[in-house]
Amino acid sequence: MACVEQTFSTMGVNPKDGKVATLFVSPAKAFLLHLICGLGLASAFWVAHNIFSTDLISSPAQTLRLILVFESPVVLLLYSLFRQNPVQCSYIKSLGQGLLGLPAGAVVIGAGAIVLGAPVGFQYFRLTLHWSLLMSVFTFVPAASVFGSSWSDWHRIFTHTKPTNNTDYMICFPAHGAIIGAWLGAWPMPLDWERPWQEWPICVSYGSIAGYLVGMAVSMGFILFHNHRHHHLKGE
């Protein structure tokens, strides 16, 4: 596991107090992380379509469950490599923080969705649960794996939207993209089109996944710009 961590991240550590001085994630490593996360989603859809002959429209609960099975371990395993202060927080502890963030995030997101108008009832429970867990994978799990219980970092990323380094970009933009995508995806639901994809949570799932992918692309753009600016200032 140490070799994998060395592959993905480079950290400056003060040997006297064990604190992380700098955390640098190169554009290539960030691209690799986003690529693997994207391939996890693509693999889930491929398996759903080619092996189980299903999709989000015909069987949303089963398809969302498949996406969770593929994407959750990918996000947990990769983002835990970029945890803050690796001297005090082991890789296993970071994985545990991410696992705790999964149900916690699902509760917050599910409650928020219901407040905003998501349907309530026993027949919707599994659908809302699976969708909330997927949204938690996109939003809470990366932050929990990297920041743990550092509320100042959570507020900086989610409340103030002020990412300051490449790791922040990798967490902030995909998470916000998923949230905005889900919000935009909910717009067609009340319209009188009588289309099957208007049912909860089909369109919001497509919206959140699309927003997540767009967020990863935006993240890479900011990382490349930040890297170029860093080298330019260093050259001066």
Q: What is the pLDDT of residues 22-50, one digit of tens each?
A: 457 889 999 999 999 999 999 999 999 99
Q: Which tens digits make up the pLDDT trace of 84-142?
A: 888 888 999 999 999 999 999 999 999 999 999 999 999 999 999 999 999 999 999 99
First to last CA, the chain: 37
Mean per-residue pLDDT, 134-156: 95
DSSP single-letter state for residue 199: S
Q: Identify whether 71 is part of a domain.
A: yes
Q: Which residues pair with 20 in a beta bridge?
A: 13
How would residue 59 be classed by pLDDT, with cut points 50, 70 and 90?
very high
Q: Identify whether 207 is part of a domain.
A: yes
Q: What are phi and psi of 55, to 5 degrees?
A: -155, -175
Does residue 20 surpass a pLDDT of 80?
A: no
7/90: higher pLDDT: 90
Q: What's the pLDDT score for residue 205?
A: 97
Q: Identify whether 22 is part of a domain.
A: no
Is 0.75 surpassed by the pTM of this model?
A: yes
Q: Identify whether 231 is part of a domain.
A: no
Q: Identify whether 230 is part of a domain.
A: no
Token pair of 201, please?
């949570």
Q: Identify whether 235 is part of a domain.
A: no
Cis ω before 188 (30° cut-off from 0) = no
Q: Identify whether 139 is part of a domain.
A: yes
- On average, the pLDDT of the chain sits at 89
> With b meaning 16 or more CB within 10 Å and e meaning fewer, what string describes 194-216?
eeebeebbbbbbbbbbbbbbbbb
Q: Whole domain around residue 180: which residue ranges? A: 29-225
The alpha-carbon radius of gyration of the chain (Å, integer) is 19
Does residue 9 surpass a pLDDT of 80?
A: no
Q: Identify whether 188 is part of a domain.
A: yes
Looking at the structure of the chain, the number of domains it has is: 1
